Amino acid sequence: MIPIEKKIDILRIMYLIREFEIASRNIFKAHLAKGEFLGALHNCDGQEAVAASIGAILRKDDYVFTTFRGHGHSIAKGAEPKKMMAELLGKKTGYSKGRGGSMHMFDPSIGLMGGNGVVGGGLTLAVGAALSAQYRCSDQVSVCFFGDGAAAIGAFHEAINLASLWKLPVIFLCENNLWAATTPIKFGCPIENISERAKGYNCVGKSIDGNDVYTVYETFLSAVDRGRNGNGPSLIECKTYRHHPHCMVIPEHRPKDEKQMWLQRDPIPKFEKVLQNENILSNHQQEKIRNEIKKIIAEAIKFAEDSPLPTVDTLYDYIWA
């Protein structure tokens, strides 16, 4: 059972992720209209239930390795929207000092081990962090988010093989949104459920509805328990859907009826309805939280806009050769 306050916290984080994504798209579009390209922007609206439920379980010292579509995971791990927004605008006050942009939110002090422009780039890194936790006899877990496309790369198999052999506390969290950029899953994966691959590595695998908060929460909680208790990795596949094209510069290519069907399964109204039916959420409270979130986003935008760009004399800083 999830405590009531935690349920509201999860909803709050889902709202925050959604508003952050809407704002980031608007900002990128406004800059594009002026001829300024802020880099690739991969939004995760539609996938909020996964990040928010997981964030509600993890401790600050647990590790999260995210992807190029990592705003939601970062927010759920405790990243500050204002520093994220500053990073999007390339400002000195951003999480990677303005040098990384949308794909590179990074803050080890909260266990946020960074996004990665390389598809599946976090898989082996997450195993390394888990090995470090095991070596130090800590009970931290290491979570690696990746997409259905990344489940086809060699590093996925190496990572899960080693994690299972050494019983490392890794949770491989696949967000299967049915498309790898413009490639439908059926062109890249010969099985129905990616979690079936866990069998080949003798670890637990589960495929679940990634738009259902309670299902994600319960499944992930068991995986975290397994990891903390020295019982090795888990592979969780969350079936979900992104509401927008792969990234800002790629036009929509997915069938209209498929998209329409998934919009009906939007995790936010779905969870609102659950909380209303449980008499935990009133219309007034919902409105109040939404307004608080809008304020946080407005402040984040102002902070980012008011922040300075890095100066030219720092061009060669943070480069190791």
Nearer to ligand TPP among residue 118 and residue 221 (C-beta): 118
CB 87 within 8 A of CB 105: yes
Tell me the window of 14-22, 131-139, 173-181, 189-197 that interacts with ligand TPP (CB under 6 A). Answer: 173-181
Q: Nearest distance from residue 193's CB to ligand TPP, in Å?
A: 15
DSSP per-residue codes, 125-145: HHHHHHHHHHHTT----EEEE
Interaction of residue 177 with ligand TPP, rule CB under 6 A = yes
Q: Nearest distance from residue 317's CB to ligand TPP, in Å?
A: 26
Interaction of residue 148 with ligand TPP, rule CB under 6 A = yes
Tell me the window of 57-65, 77-85, 176-184, 274-282 that interacts with ligand TPP (CB under 6 A). Answer: 176-184
Hey, how many other C-beta atoms are within 10 angstroms of the C-beta on 12?
A: 16
- Size of interface with ligand TPP, in residues (CB under 6 A): 14
Q: Nearest distance from residue 167's CB to ligand TPP, in Å?
A: 26
Interaction of residue 117 with ligand TPP, rule CB under 6 A = yes
Interaction of residue 147 with ligand TPP, rule CB under 6 A = yes
Residues with Cβ within 8 Å of 3's Cβ and at least 6 positions away in sequence, in order, are none
What is the distance between the alpha carbons of residues 42 and 88, in angstroms, rounded to a whole number?
12
Touching ligand TPP, residues 245-264 (CB under 6 A): 246
Interaction of residue 122 with ligand TPP, rule CB under 6 A = no
Residues with Cβ within 8 Å of 210's Cβ and at least 6 positions away in sequence, in order, are 47, 49, 50, 175, 176, 216, 238, 239, 240, 267
Nearer to ligand TPP among residue 134 and residue 176 (C-beta): 176
81, 136, 197, 268 from 244: Cα distances, Å: 21, 42, 28, 15
Interaction of residue 173 with ligand TPP, rule CB under 6 A = no
Tell me the residue length of the chain.
321
CB 53 within 8 A of CB 224: no
9, 25, 74, 89, 161 from 109: Cα distances, Å: 21, 28, 12, 22, 29
Q: Tokens 């943070």 — which residue?
A: 318
Q: Nearest distance from residue 180's CB to ligand TPP, in Å?
A: 3
Interaction of residue 181 with ligand TPP, rule CB under 6 A = yes
Touching ligand TPP, residues 59-98 (CB under 6 A): 68-69
**Interacting residues toward ligand TPP by CB under 6 A:** 68-69, 117-119, 147-150, 177, 179-181, 246
